[in-house]
Amino acid sequence: MPIVKYRRATEPLWHEWDRKAQKCGLRHTVYAVNGNQYTGEWLDNLKHGKGTQVWKRSGAIYSGDWKFGKRDGYGSYSIPDPVTKEYRKVYTGWWKNDKKSGYGAMFYPNQERYEGEWSGGLRSGWGRMFYQDGSIYEGQWLADRPGGQGMLRLRNENRYEGGWKDGKKHGPGKFFYLDKGQLLEGIWAADIPKCGILIDFGRDKAPAPPQYPIPKV
């Protein structure tokens, strides 16, 4: 009986070439078709580990941790100044799934600054915001706006302590008019005090108290 020999199945050559082309481990700068460039670690052809990405169109730079092709871990993001062309840090902190998540600091172009918690790329949790006019908000954030309990201190040291909703004073709260030596305690709705009690508070130390004290009821 004749012996039939079947040809041994061979793997296509391109499979071997593809395995050799897979980026894995530390690589020098790799350029994308659109001009973006990445220098750092890879795993299974994806950015994974420590690395630096430069976007050609915006000139922005991210340097930090990557996980399976996305920014994940600790890193900083910077952009070039349109006038001086020098790099200005925009965000430094934690990332998850390519979005700001965890604790981080954001630096805005108008000298404003946020330090606190993030979730899904939005300010959420506890945080402190330094505004351009000199006022400072410290407290809870929700969906990128003050939401929950927090304190807003104005440049003249007057301050509000209480509830917030959608970035506005909302719910029970206290407003300390330290320049006048008065305290308003009441209920706010959409930044407007709806009802409350106004009393003297540190009137003798206030820089500009009203001419007459508030009578006691």
> Residue 14: what pLDDT?
46
Q: Over the stretch 83-136, which tens digit does the pLDDT of each residue have? A: 888 999 999 999 999 999 999 999 998 899 999 999 999 999 999 999 999 999
Confirm if 79 and 85 have CB atoms less than 8 A apart. no
Picking from 186, 204, 142, 200, the residue whose alpha carbon sits closest to that of residue 168 is 142
For the entire predicted model, the pTM comes to 0.84
Q: Cα(68)–Cα(152) distance, rounded to whole angstroms?
A: 41
- Segments in the chain below pLDDT 50: 14
Residue 12: the pLDDT is 67
Q: What is the pLDDT of residue 182?
A: 93
Closest C-alpha among 106, 112, 111, 110 to residue 124: 106
Question: Which of 167, 183, 81, 79 lies closest to 127 in space, CA to CA?
Answer: 167
The Cα 153–Cα 136 span in angstroms is 5
Domains of the chain, CATH where assigned: 108-216 (2.20.110.10)
Residue 19: the pLDDT is 61
